[in-house]
Structure 1
Amino acid sequence: MSAEVRSWALVTGASRGIGAAIAEQLAAAGHGILLNYRSNHEAAEQVRARIVEAGGAVELLPFDVANADASGAALASVLESDKVISVVVNNAGVSADAPFPALEREAWDSVLGPTLDGFYNVTRPLVMPMVRRRHGRIINISSVSGLIGNRGQVNYSAAKAGIIGATKALARELAKRKITVNAVAPGLIETEMAAHAPSKDMVKLIPMRRMGTAQEVAKLVRFLASDDAAYVTGQVVAIDGGLT
């Protein structure tokens, strides 16, 4: 199956939620999927099964994006194969909310690691192959918390704002090589991560008066990964029902 796929997309944190929806949308667009996850093998297998059932190609690629050695080893094995990775979606991330005076160092590191270290660990090894091919799509999943901040989320807001800065800087570096780099900033989305949020109160602040869906975010990512978005780079696209 791998030999028949011309283009592969690596999606991190893709065993559930937005990441899983993105993997399925990119598979439907014709990309082979390298489905990254850290430890939830059962959930990853379920996503893999859905993609295969729909006629797509997918391989599981488990590693912790925050771990430089693990990331390097996993990606080296991919780069040594015949797979051409043309799309990278940096979606992996966690939240550990607390008022700032109660925010422990462990909670700070646990949130910034997957987002910022993960971006570096995953993206850097894949950039030069894209440069040599003069083609690539790098899409980073940020958040409206990185745009406007959110109480109790200093760590999460810092991580997501940092990925926006990285997106804009890298987009300028790679534009002349025909590689686009964009960020997607979801608002309140119906996922497991948002399950504990005070959704009723927050929904009142959203002009559309509803939460978004993972599929709506995934379809935006699918567009940014497509040839139709070849002239879109360095952008942060909020998908939040008008919240920002």
Structure 2
Amino acid sequence: MPRLPAPTPEELRRDPLPLRGRTALVTGASRRGGIGCAVARRLAAYGAAVYLHHHVPHDEAMPWGADRPEDVADAVRAARGAPDTLVAHGPADLSAPDAPARLIDDAARALGGRLDILIANHALSGSDGTLDTIDAAMLDAHWAVDARSVVLLVQAFARHRPAGPGGRIVMMTSGQDIADGMPGELAYALQKGALASVTRSLATALAERGIMVNTVNPGPVDTDYLDGDTYDAIAGLFPAGRWGMPDDPARLISWLATDEAAWITGQVVDSEGGFRRTGG
């Protein structure tokens, strides 16, 4: 097999719109202060057309609340690298078994019939506990949203996208395998751990189709869910003395979607800013 030639000087120059002409679905983008919105803003700034998935009832039930979907979309539109870059949005309750495939269809249709990038950022918050308090309902709820729906999204994405270079999937985990783990959120940790474990298998399964699969652990990120003394104590565990902000993991995730990351697949990447976890 012939060797690839060294890149030309023109190829080495950074394209300010490296995702121009590509399309992306970002799940879990219900809040302007969340990671999903930050990732979508980066993708749009790089030239990608973006479809934002939201499930407003979930965030409305949380202490932080939900934003209007159109307000989130407007925040993404404000970051567009080109004024005609399409930004669309739509709802889906991904706990339903058929919802992932329908979401892929909806996103592709809204973006002109093609999807190149899948960022599976959504997760179920709350409804969890310790080993003594978890029950079957908690485990099943987190399994349906945090793991099953992600694998079904990957399946539908792979079936939809024609084989060829440029396919990208990024899943999200939570560092549940680092230091002391997450003993207070066992249902969540179990399902997120499943995604980390299946990353390499999915990458191998999809490599021949030109789809790179990676998973990112964003570490503790300030998405407006915590304040006070606990917030300050956690900030002190970072060498920089501050929490991660949504754009910190968004920079990594959006880079993984570009051609600069075309040789990276099957990896679980920690983006934690040197966070010092207890026990490690």
Fold match (TM-score > 0.5): yes
Change (3 A) 1:123 1:157: same
Alpha-carbon distance in structure 2 between the residues aligned to 1:132 and 1:64:
28
- Larger mean Cα displacement after TM superposition, 218-227 or 35-44: 35-44
Paired position in structure 2 for 1:215: 247
CA drift of 1:51 comes to 2.4
Does residue 170 (structure 1) correspond to residue 170 (structure 2)? The answer is no
Q: Which letter does structure 1 place at the counterpart of 2:216?
A: V
CA drift of 1:176 comes to 3.1
Alpha-carbon distance in structure 1 between the residues aligned to 2:194 and 2:229:
23
Aligned length: 240
Where 1:10 maps in the other structure, the secondary structure is: strand
Change (3 A) 1:106 1:198: farther
Does residue 85 (structure 1) correspond to residue 115 (structure 2)? The answer is yes
Alpha-carbon distance in structure 1 between the residues aligned to 2:266 and 2:255:
15
Q: Is the 8 A contact 1:9 1:31 kept in 2?
A: yes
Paired position in structure 2 for 1:58: 87
Alpha-carbon distance in structure 2 between the residues aligned to 1:180 and 1:39:
30
Does residue 73 (structure 1) correspond to residue 102 (structure 2)? The answer is yes
CA drift of 1:195 comes to 5.6
Paired position in structure 1 for 2:62: none
Change (3 A) 1:186 1:194: farther
Give the one of 191, 209, 212 matched to 1:159: 191
What RMSD over aligned residues (CA atoms) do the two structures have, in Å? Answer: 2.4
**Unmatched tracts of structure 1, length 5 or more:** none
Q: Residues 135-146 of structure 1 correspond to what in structure 2 (within 5 A)?
A: 135-146=166-177
Q: Which letter does structure 1 place at the counterpart of 2:242?
A: R
Alpha-carbon distance in structure 2 between the residues aligned to 1:227 and 1:209:
33
CA drift of 1:156 comes to 1.6
Paired position in structure 2 for 1:20: 37
Alpha-carbon distance in structure 2 between the residues aligned to 1:99 and 1:35:
33
Q: Residues 1-244 of structure 1 correspond to what in structure 2 (within 5 A)?
A: 6-16=21-31, 17-39=34-56, 42-54=67-79, 55=83, 56-79=85-108, 82-96=112-126, 97-148=128-179, 149-193=181-225, 198-243=230-275
Change (3 A) 1:38 1:232: same
Where 2:132 maps in the other structure, the secondary structure is: helix
Q: Is the 8 A contact 1:137 1:225 kept in 2?
A: yes
Percent of aligned pairs sharing the same letter:
29
Alpha-carbon distance in structure 2 between the residues aligned to 1:143 and 1:206:
16
Q: Which letter does structure 1 place at the counterpart of 2:49?
A: G
Change (3 A) 1:196 1:107: farther
Could you say which structure has the larger radius of gyration? 2
Alpha-carbon distance in structure 1 between the residues aligned to 2:239 and 2:55:
35
**Unmatched tracts of structure 2, length 5 or more:** 1-19, 58-65
Where 1:68 maps in the other structure, the secondary structure is: coil
Where 1:35 maps in the other structure, the secondary structure is: strand
Alpha-carbon distance in structure 2 between the residues aligned to 1:218 and 1:197:
27
Q: Is the 8 A contact 2:174 2:192 kept in 1?
A: yes
- Larger mean Cα displacement after TM superposition, 162-171 or 224-233: 162-171
